[in-house]
Structure formats: C-alpha cells, structure tokens
Amino acid sequence: MPEINRRSFIGAGAAVSGLGLLAACGRTGSAGSPGGALVTPGDAIVDAVEKERAGTGKERAFTLRAAESELDLGGRTVRTWSFGDALPGEELRVSAGDTLKATLENRLPDPTSIHWHGLALRNDMDGVPPITQKAVKPGGDFTYRFIVDTPGTHWFHPHVGTQIDRGLYAPIIVDDPDEPLAYDEEWVVMLDDWLDGIDGTTPDAVLEEVREGMDHGGGGGHGGHGGGEGGMEGMDGGGPMRMGNTLMGASSDLLGGDAGDIYYPLHLVNGRPADDPRTFKADPGARLRLRLINAGGDTAYRVVLGGHRMTITHTDGYPVEHREVDGVVLGMGERYDVLVTLKDGVFPLVVLAEGKDATALGLVRTGSGEAPGKDVRPDELDGKIVHATELKAAPEVRLEKRGPEAEHTIELTGGMGAYDWALNGRRFDHEDPTKGAFTCEQGQRVRVVFKNSTMMWHPMHLHGHTFQIADGGPRKDTVIVLPGQSVKVDFEADNPGQWLVHCHNIYHGEVGMMGLLAYTA
Ligand code: C2O
Ligand code: CU
C-alpha cells in the first residue's frame, strides 16, 4: 500500500478545527446582508454603461452549437459534450470595439449557458443562471450580443453545474487594432484535465463522490459512477494516492502544498494527450506568441518549452512589464501570453499537472529531427517560474492610486475533509444568490482581500472586472491564492450589475466557494 502524504492528513485536521475558529469570530461586517436595493442585470444603467463603451459598431456573428458528441482523444473515443463537435471548440476572434453576436444553440440534454471568461461586458450577457439570465433549455437558443472593448486572450465556457469539466470550452481572442507586440507566429494553447466519458465517469458523478467528503470514506466506496474504480490505488511510491476519482497527497511546492482533489486519467493540450500530441510548425528564428489558457477543472499546469526561455508579456489578457522566465504556472481560468524566439529543431511544450505526476505535451517543429517522447522532462521545469504576484502591470494599464472607498475581506474557508469549501464560512446559496452579497457603488475604487485560511491553493475569479493585484501588480481576473496567503486586489466599480466571485476549481465552486459582488442602486 502506498504511503499517504502526511500533509493531507494534517490538512484535514486543521481544516476541521479552522471551522470552529471561524464560527467563534463571527462574520465580517462586509459580508452581511446588503442594505439598499441592488442593481439588477436588466436595469437601464446596464444599457447606459454599454452605450458608453468604445465600440466600432462593427458586428461579428457566430453560432455555437452545444451538443453531445463523440470525440477522439488520441485513439480513445469518448462520448462527451462540446461546442461544434470539436475540442477545444473553434476559436472566436474579434477586434477590440467589435460587437460580438453569438447564438448559442443548446442541443444538450440539460440546460446550459455561456460565460465569457475575462471579458468586462454588460451584466445581462455574463451567462450566469439564474442571476444574469435563465438557463437556456434543451432545444432552445439564446443570442449573446455585447461590445468587446478590451484586447486579450480569453475563453468561454458554460456556467451551469460541472459542465465546464466536459468539453464545452473554446478560446476567444480579442485582437488589438494597435497591437504593440512584434511577432511572427501565434499559437493558442488550451490546457485541460480530462475524465468525462472515460470508464463511464462524468463530472457530475465525481462531484457526488467528492461531496461525500474524505471524512466519510470518500472515493470508490460510493460507487454508482459507472467506472467501478473502487478501492485504493497508488500511483508512484510516495506520489499522490487515488481512491475512485479522488486524489490524496497530490502535493506541489509551487502551490504551497495540496495541489488538487481530483484524479484525471488524461491531460490535454488542445484536445490531445501526451502520447498523440499536436505539432505547431514554424521557421527557425521565428518569434512565437503563445497564448496559454488553463481550461481545467482541478489542475494547475506548469508550462515550459524545452530548450527555450520565454518572455511573459500578458496575463489574463492584460500587458505586464516583460519578464524572462523558464516557465509559467497557470491556475484554472488563468491565461498567460509569452513570447519565444524559436531555435532550429523539434521541441516539447511540456505541461506538467502540478502535484499529479502526469503531463500533457505539444510539439513545436522548426526543423528536422526526431520528436521527443511523451515522458520528456526538460530542465526548464526546474528553472525560474514566477507567480503572478511577482509581476508588474504595464504602465498603460496600471490603476492610478486612490481610495479604496469600499473594502471586503473574502476569507477562503473549508477543507478536503468535509468538502465544505466556502467564502467567509458560508456556502453559496444558488436559491438565494444575493444573500450575503458583497456590495459596492458605481464609481468606487474597491479593494478585495482574498484571505486563504485553508490548507489548499485556490484560483479566485471575479466576473465583469479586471482587478489589479495591489501595489502595482498585474491586472487579472483570476489569481492564485496560496494556503495561508492574503492577496489584495483593487478594481474600479465601473460595470454595474451582479457578478460572481468564486474559486475556479469547479468542484470547490459548485459545493459553495462562490459569492456575489453586487452594485447597490
Ligand atoms: Cu471562468 Cu465564473 O468563470
Ligand atoms: Cu478552491
């Protein structure tokens, strides 16, 4: 029997006693019930703000068909849900200022929606049922129409249940009509952890499995999810231990400990596993812009290009002061743009699933030579990797210093043991979403302090805004908050409505690590 990493046992105990502490302290004032009326997504002010957005008036129309499909994942055929029978779905590309018109055709057996991750758009187009719209029924259509006013690397996915952990995702790239970067080639790379349709498993079954909590035996004991992967199964000696689709002891130094809760049989680069990678071809000497997007459900990825250093130019679509590194680490929902000057040969883009003892792979070919195998581990993996908190916003996107006029401390709470992930000790109530909302007023500078009191890292995401990490840090919409760490972020309250703030670990979010930022009227 494999050894279990001690950290996960200690973690479970600490999480339980942490709850007691929380209860004793009570709730922070800022998280109480909102006093005044809230701006609703259908309010006239939402329309008024849209009219002020810098738009060119040019409309770009797309159709997005969400349906059950059979996908080939490198020799394995899985039945899953996707956009346009492709994985990732076909990239949408618009220019800043364009009006995006996207008709979602729901041909799934369940209601769905599309959330435009990273776009600061009008609230009623944010795709969050039941808050900003009704879920689109099976057989129904819904047209999203809004001005896209900022350039960058973004993506879209449903905001219903665990659907994001199926194949329902695709990039949306917003070009800058005055692009300041010079480069020759561009490769959009979506990273994903995959379990849907493998041995009959679905994300819903996995959610039920983890929801039971590790304290109650968790894992395979509850069966019922087609796979019958019961019992315990070690991976490498000393590595993470698996029970059903639950992982224990997945540990990452970069993430400050516990890396993830879920076992995924596959990790994918643009829909392909490491044994059947995609190849990007270019000329030697070309400057390549990599647009990296983590579409995973429960996996952070460390990304390097063997034999190369990379220059970080953007994170979450916004420019940063350029920084040369060996690799980057992306939490779920995060994006990085990096520039690489390609050497002559064939090089592995290695995507390490943090703490999970698994990789995905892509290849960059500029010349002849044999492609590296699936187990290639370039030295860059142990090189210089920086966290977003160490980066600086580019001068043109830095927020000027002022305020804040409103401040909220959002404590990340809960644990693996009871699987009771929450914000400020309160689980999100989908039936009554505005209860306990964090409020602000239009025009305020708002500070949010994400205070992580759990034993695990969380990628915290805010809809409708791009905050700035305090003291000149990068502009982002999703930020990794390490265990025990507090991350301060500031944003302009310039987009009235009701916006989710949540952990982008889909299983954490679904069980309650989610809240609402609401503008008061
Ligand atoms: Cu990728 Cu609530 O979002
Ligand atoms: Cu989380």
Question: Ligand 1 center to residue 369 CA distance, Å?
Answer: 41
Residues 388-437 have pLDDT tens digits of: 999 999 999 999 999 999 999 999 999 988 999 999 999 999 889 999 99
Average pLDDT over residues 506-515: 98
Closest protein CA for atom 1 of ligand 1? 117
Q: Is 291 in the pocket of ligand 1 (CB under 6 A)?
A: no
Question: Ligand 1 center to residue 344 CA distance, Å?
Answer: 39
What's the CA gap between 308 and 191, in Å, rounded?
20
Average pLDDT over residues 340-361: 97
For residue 237, the model assigns a pLDDT of 53
What's the CA gap between 228 and 220, in Å, rounded?
7
Find the ligand nearest to 456 CA. 2
Average pLDDT over residues 449-466: 98
Find the ligand nearest to 503 CA. 2
Residues counted in the chain: 521
Atom number in ligand 1 closest to CA 502: 2
**Nearest residue to 448 via CA among 480, 412, 489:** 489
What's the CA gap between 121 and 134, in Å, rounded?
18
In DSSP notation, 440-481 reads E-TT-EEEEEEEE-SSB-EEEEESS--EEETTT--EESEEEE
Residues 366, 346 contacting (CB under 8 angstroms) = yes
What's the CA gap between 121 and 464, in Å, rounded?
6
Question: Ligand 1 center to residue 191 CA distance, Å?
Answer: 16
Q: Is the pLDDT higher at 34 or at 390?
A: 390
Residues 11-22 have pLDDT tens digits of: 333 333 333 333
What's the CA gap between 218 and 246, in Å, rounded?
8
Token code pair at residue 88: 């990732």
Q: Cβ atoms within 10 A of the Cβ of 197, count?
A: 20
Residues 133-165 have pLDDT tens digits of: 999 999 999 999 999 999 999 999 999 999 999
Helix (H) or strand (E) holding 304: strand 301-305
Percent of the chain surpassing pLDDT 90:
85
Question: Ligand 1 center to residue 461 CA distance, Å?
Answer: 7
Contact partners, residue 247, CB within 8 Å, separation at least 6: 240, 241, 260, 261, 262, 263, 356
Atom number in ligand 1 closest to CA 478: 1
Atom number in ligand 1 closest to CA 333: 1
Domain 399-520 in this protein, CATH class = mainly beta
Residues 316, 477 contacting (CB under 8 angstroms) = yes
Q: Is 445 in the pocket of ligand 1 (CB under 6 A)?
A: no
Closest protein CA for atom 3 of ligand 1? 117
Q: Is 115 in the pocket of ligand 1 (CB under 6 A)?
A: yes
3-state SS string over 383-443?
A: CCEECHHHCCECHHHCCCCCCCCEEEEEEEECCCCCCCCEECCECCCCCCCCCCCEEECCC
Residues 158-213 have pLDDT tens digits of: 999 999 999 999 999 999 999 999 999 999 999 999 999 999 999 999 999 999 87
Question: Ligand 1 center to residue 61 CA distance, Å?
Answer: 23
